[in-house]
Amino acid sequence: MKLLCSSCFLIRGKFGVMRLSLLLILLLLAGKGAFSTSNYLIGLGSYDITGPAADVNMMGYADTAQIASGVHFRLRARTFIVAEPPGNRVAFVNLDACMASQLVTIKVLERLKARYGNLYTEKNVAISGIHTHAGPGGYLQYVVYIVTSLGFVRQSFDALVDGIEQSFILAHGNLRPGSIFVNKGEILDAGVNRSPSAYLNNPSEERSKYKFDVDKEMTLLKFVDAEWGPVGSFNWFATHGTSMSRTNPLISGDNKGAAARFMEDWHDGKDSGNIYSDESHTGSTERIPRRISNIIPEYNVKHRELLDLASSFQASSKREVTKFLSISSRVRSALRQSDKPKFVAAFCQSNCGDVSPNVLGAYCIDTGLPCDFNHSTCGGKNELCYGRGPGYPDEFESTRIIGERQFKKAADLFKTASEQIKGKIDFRHTYLDFSKLEITIPKEGGGSEVVKTCPAAMGFAFAAGTTDGPGAFDFKQGDDKGNPFWRLVRNLLKTPEKEQVDCQQPKPILLDTGEMKLPYDWAPAILPIQILRIGQFVILSVPSEFTTMAGRRLRDAVKTVLTSASSGEFNGGLHVVIAGLTNTYSQYVTTYEEYQVQRYEGASTLYGPHTHSAFIQEFKKLATALVHGQRVESGPQPPDLLDKQVGFLTPVVLDTPPLGSNFGDCSTDVPRNATFKRGDMVSIVFWSACPRNDLMTEGTFALVEMLLKKDSWEPVYDDDDFSLRFKWSRPAKLSTHSQATIEWRIPQKALPGVYRIRHFGASKGLFGSVHHFVGASSAFVVV
């Protein structure tokens, strides 16, 4: 038996358990009145999962032209662990990734078992994706999800597995006595229903119970360390990660990743240069921004003197032995952290299936008129219908605005959270074969009948895409017929059997993915479902994108089971959230009524019209087992297809700078005696090398430094900041030359002074050797 004490040493045996219990009691009694407030061990951790920033197709839009070529801001895995001393524990990982992957989950759990034994397993660990459509793809194991990435991309996969493991190590190492508080509130302007015609097919009496056709409620957990105070928060809110469009080539956490960055900087007193001044938190609504306020005085120096100082620092480049300089220079470098745990803020996904962040609505790009209501087309063409975000036509601004709206609500909920989470920790998990589940449903006219799910299949409307990212050719949403030409094309891959056609009705099958097995499985059949309980807070881990109404029905069904069978245990209130895209990915889940309309979400509901009923039936079984303390069978194991993966992404062969230049040299520098104002864009171009040579994990490709003294530079912005963008390009596809363009939009709250921009990279030599380099621009003045 292995248990973890708060100082993170493993103690074995009966006497170890006694010593552990005594130590925990002493800690609780000593911890600033913690005995009455600290009822759990809590630990949070965060780690870089950005992955390859070049050449790799992005996951989400399935657009072969959307190839990563730079960084908007970095992606992270954020983990919380909550344990009852010395009882059960649960762990939740939130990924700045499109979705969870069954293969990633399998390999992470293998590593956790090797490191911690049976402390963390598939039963009590949930791994969830925020659904950004701007992260590297190629990390899922089923064929249909890696076609556009040219198969499996090992570098994407490893970045996720390594990053999740490291975030776990940090969270586990941070386990200490603490408390959790919950709070809820509405965000009215961060999501709209992108398939309203399908939503309207739900019963009118059901729709009348709700004020909106999307869920507007955010639910937040606040984690408070008994000694250090607040150490993090996780919240769940439904809106798609599609503020960044399918033409965006920069890696980005989209609106939820942006919200997380804003909130972490806000809590640490590091304003991100554009949002949220909070007197109660900082003591002043006019504080000096960013991370430099405590280390330098304000600049009250004449402009001429600043120019003279800047002129003494010209552009330079040099070769580095390792990437250590990139890591140590990072603004949020762990090397400069105190003993206090790093604050972690996660913005988790929920039932976002039909929820778009493009809140201005969908319009035709040729006429400017609203798109057709039922089919989201313009003159019969889906390619012309696009949703508009609040910053239209600037997708970066839309991302910032939707992220800011989520951040501001989360900050308010965080500050006012007062309901403490109390009660036991528990969990239930099982695997189910969704290709052939039997479901008992009410029969029209009374009684019940048994129906079945089907092997996975995707309908014609799947290829039409959505208003967030329309498809191509002549596909359209709301198509329950199909057409002869595309049926012929489909049949070249796999002709569905009559039983499958009948089972999936009224979906016309475009891809019979559940019955396509070459070179290996095209779609999942075995899916995990899971419930995590922390006192009166319950997480439903679903492997799909549930639509608004599908999520409402599931939450209500589980809540009914828990409250009716708990003998008053939840009389003080029960909070149930859906964690979407968790542990694996199986596309969408609509209600039975929405499925009949066959918009994009219905066409992407893989297992037929009764998919949603199957989830409700099986989650009710889990909830019943949870509340009665009953054991649940583990079910059939999903396949591990790692050894079958194939990938066709070409490796980096060689990097060279142009004749007469070195890696890190500026090909475009700032002008001599350059002066910029806040709001200006500073753009520097360096001779560079492929970012796949070194992902700069927990480091940075780009850095803005400010001169503190005559020869001392302090990092103030890096490629994890919203104001700084790292863009990488080749002059031609097969060229060995490449350039890095670093753009800095000077924040309105940047201090006046002398600045420079640096670029970190790694080049590959002829025989595979990798050499690190760093370049710097000439210094310039900001006034």
Catalytic residue numbers read: 356
Distances from the Cα of 78 to the Cαs of 45, 152, 170, 544, 606, in angstroms? Answer: 6, 24, 10, 20, 29
Q: What would the 3-class secondary structure string for 62-108 be? A: CCCCCEEEEECCCCEEEEEEEECCCCCEEEEEEECCCCCCHHHHHHH
Distances from the Cα of 719 to the Cαs of 62, 325, 474, 501, 608, in angstroms? Answer: 26, 14, 40, 49, 43
CA dihedral (240, 246, 248, 253) in degrees, to 10, reads 20
Nearest CA-CA partner of 716 in 258, 232, 338, 296: 296
271 — phi, psi (to 5°)?
-55, 135
Residue type, 383: E
Residue type, 247: T
In which residue are the tokens 């480049």 written? 317
Please, how many CA atoms are within 13 Å of residue 436, restricted to the half-sphere of its CB? 3
537: DSSP letter: E
358 neighbors 391 (Cβ within 8 angstroms): no
How does DSSP assign 164-226, residue by residue? HHHHHHHHHHT-EEEEEEEEEEE-SSS-EES-HHHHTTS-HHHHTT-SSSS--EEEEEEEEET
DSSP SS3 for 350: coil
761 neighbors 691 (Cβ within 8 angstroms): yes
Tokens of 355: 């929820």
609 neighbors 594 (Cβ within 8 angstroms): no
Tokens of 528: 């995990």
294 — phi, psi (to 5°)?
-90, -5
End-to-end CA distance of the chain: 63
578 neighbors 542 (Cβ within 8 angstroms): yes
Residue 133's Cβ-count burial label (10 Å; 0-12, 13-18, 19+) is buried
Please, how many CA atoms are within 13 Å of residue 227, restricted to the half-sphere of its CB? 16
Nearest CA-CA partner of 372 in 566, 188, 218, 599: 599
Neighbouring CB atoms inside 10 A of 38's CB total 24
